[in-house]
Amino acid sequence: MEYENLIYEEKDRKTAYITLNRPEKLNALSMKLSDEIVDAVKHVQESTNLKFLIFKGAGGNFCVGDDITEMPRWGDANGIMRRARYYQAMANAIEELDKITIAAVDGYAVGGGLEITMAVDFVIATERSIWGMPEVDVGITPGWGGTTRMARLIGRRRAKEINILGALHPGKTAVKWNLWNRLVPNDQLDNEVEKLIELLKLKNQQAMRQLKFIINKGVECDLYTAQGFEALSGALTGAVNGMWKVKDADQAKGILGFMKKDGTWDKRRSLAKNFWVD
């Protein structure tokens, strides 16, 4: 797959790499680059072979966020809202991937770059990495995670501090505040990412997909609803591990009966379709 502003690579048919490739602009998210990210993520989602996706930045920086010089092209207030929703859909698509996603952060990860890191599953960063949300000093507010995902990850008080003050922080603070996972020496980023991938390859891939799903969904709802996700995931785990036969379940009898026209559908529907119908 050929792109102008990003590099897309696949290794061993299981791992995809998206490298933001505008090093002269510190990998700022131009409209073109954003479109290419959306396209690459869609390709990853559609693949059943790929299990892992890694985001990187070229030239010693991860990403400094939206390309501010292009913002006048976004249009009027409605155009700006449409652009924000486009970015939100992009972040949601990354978060919803049924793959394990990793951000390998070096240098700056600010604004939209930081928002990408909040949509992935794991973040590994170098000791020299720097992060923050400086939008306030441009006179704008974040549009796709800088207030929403951030508050869910580190709490509203820290989220206010980051967004209202607009300071830039060292990577060690992101780890301390549970925004990122691990900090590594500057020359060990790629090695640490590969070590994590090798570990994840040994796992039950279906179990990891389920864990990602129930954690992401459960954190957004009340405890009892979240426990429902846990219980259903436990049952699904049993089913995919061979314990799928439930005595009073159809075991596909209804579907097969409909397909084979063996009378199951007609009998059920004849009793049900007018039941308690006034």
Q: Which among 2, 10, 95, 135 is annotated as catalytic?
A: 135
Q: Which among 4, 96, 115, 230 is annotated as catalytic?
A: 115
Does 135 qualify as catalytic in the annotation? yes
**Rounded to an integer, what distance in angstroms lies between the CA atom of residue 58 and that of residue 126?**
14
According to DSSP, the residues that pair with 9 across neighbouring strands are 17
With vertex at residue 169, the alpha carbon angle to CA 162 and CA 184, rounded to the nearest 5 degrees, is 130
Does 198 qualify as catalytic in the annotation? no
**Rounded to an integer, what distance in angstroms lies between the CA atom of residue 63 and that of residue 66?**
9
10 Å Cβ neighbour count for 45?
15
**Rounded to an integer, what distance in angstroms lies between the CA atom of residue 149 and that of residue 151?**
6
Neighbour order of strands in the sheet with 6-11 = 6-11, 15-20, 52-57, 100-105, 122-126, 182-184
The closest alpha carbon to 15, from 258, 141, 197, 155, belongs to: 197
**Rounded to an integer, what distance in angstroms lies between the CA atom of residue 104 and that of residue 88?**
21
Q: Write out the catalytic residue numbers.
A: 115, 135
